[in-house]
Amino acid sequence: MSSAFRTIRIGVFISAVNLLIQGVAFLVSNFMAKNLGNVSFAYFGILQSDYTIFTALADFGTATLLLAFFGKKVVQGKMLSSAFQLRYVLTFGSMLLMMLFACLVRWNHPVFRGEFIMAFGLLFQHAFFDWYFICGKFWKKLLVAKILHTISYSSVMGFSLFFLQIESIEGIALSMVLAALPAWGFGATAALRPVIFKFTHRSILFIRLMLSKAFPFALSSLASFLYLPLGLYAMDVFAPREMFGAYNYANKLIVLASGLMVNFISSSLVTKHEVHDDKFHLKDIAVFTAFIAICCSPAWTIPEFCIKTLFFAAPIHANPELLAFGAFSFSTLVFSLIFQATRVSLVATMLKEKRLWTYVFLIFLGGILNAGTVFGLPALGISYWHIPILALTGDAALSILLFIYFARAKRFRA
Segments forming the whole domain that contains residue 51: 37-213
Together in a domain, 79 and 202: yes
pLDDT band at 24 (very low <50, low <70, confident <90, very high): confident
In a domain, 25, yes or no: no
Q: Which of 213, 242, 265 is the last residue of a domain?
A: 213
Together in a domain, 189 and 282: no
For residue 269, the model assigns a pLDDT of 47
280: β partners: 412
pLDDT band at 178 (very low <50, low <70, confident <90, very high): very high
What is the average per-residue pLDDT within 300-317?
A: 92
Instruction: Give how many domains the chain has, as a whole number.
Output: 2
Together in a domain, 6 and 73: no
In a domain, 30, yes or no: no
Q: What is the mean pLDDT of the chain?
A: 84
Q: How many residues does the chain have?
A: 414
Together in a domain, 272 and 332: yes
Together in a domain, 290 and 406: yes
Residue of higher predicted confidence among 70 and 58: 58
In a domain, 257, yes or no: yes
Distance separating alpha carbons of residues 80 and 272, to the nearest angstrom: 31
Distances (CA, A) of 274 to 3, 267, 270, 344: 10, 11, 7, 16
Together in a domain, 64 and 207: yes
In a domain, 177, yes or no: yes
Together in a domain, 335 and 246: yes
Together in a domain, 306 and 180: no
What is the average per-residue pLDDT within 359-370?
A: 91
Together in a domain, 270 and 395: yes
In a domain, 219, yes or no: no
Asked whether 126 and 180 are in contact (CB, 8 A), the reply is yes
Q: Above 50 in pLDDT, residue 156?
A: yes
In a domain, 383, yes or no: yes
DSSP one-letter code for 60: T
Q: Which of 213, 237, 270 is the last residue of a domain?
A: 213
Q: Which of 166, 187, 213 is the last residue of a domain?
A: 213
In a domain, 342, yes or no: yes
Predicted TM-score (pTM) of the model is 0.85
In a domain, 221, yes or no: no
Together in a domain, 65 and 169: yes
Which pLDDT tens digit goes with each residue over 113-144?
999 999 999 998 887 887 777 777 777 887 78
Together in a domain, 169 and 278: no
262 by Cβ neighbours in 10 Å (0-12 / 13-18 / 19+) ranks as middle
Burial 338-349 (b: 16+ CB within 10 A, else e): bbbbbbbbbbbb
Together in a domain, 69 and 100: yes
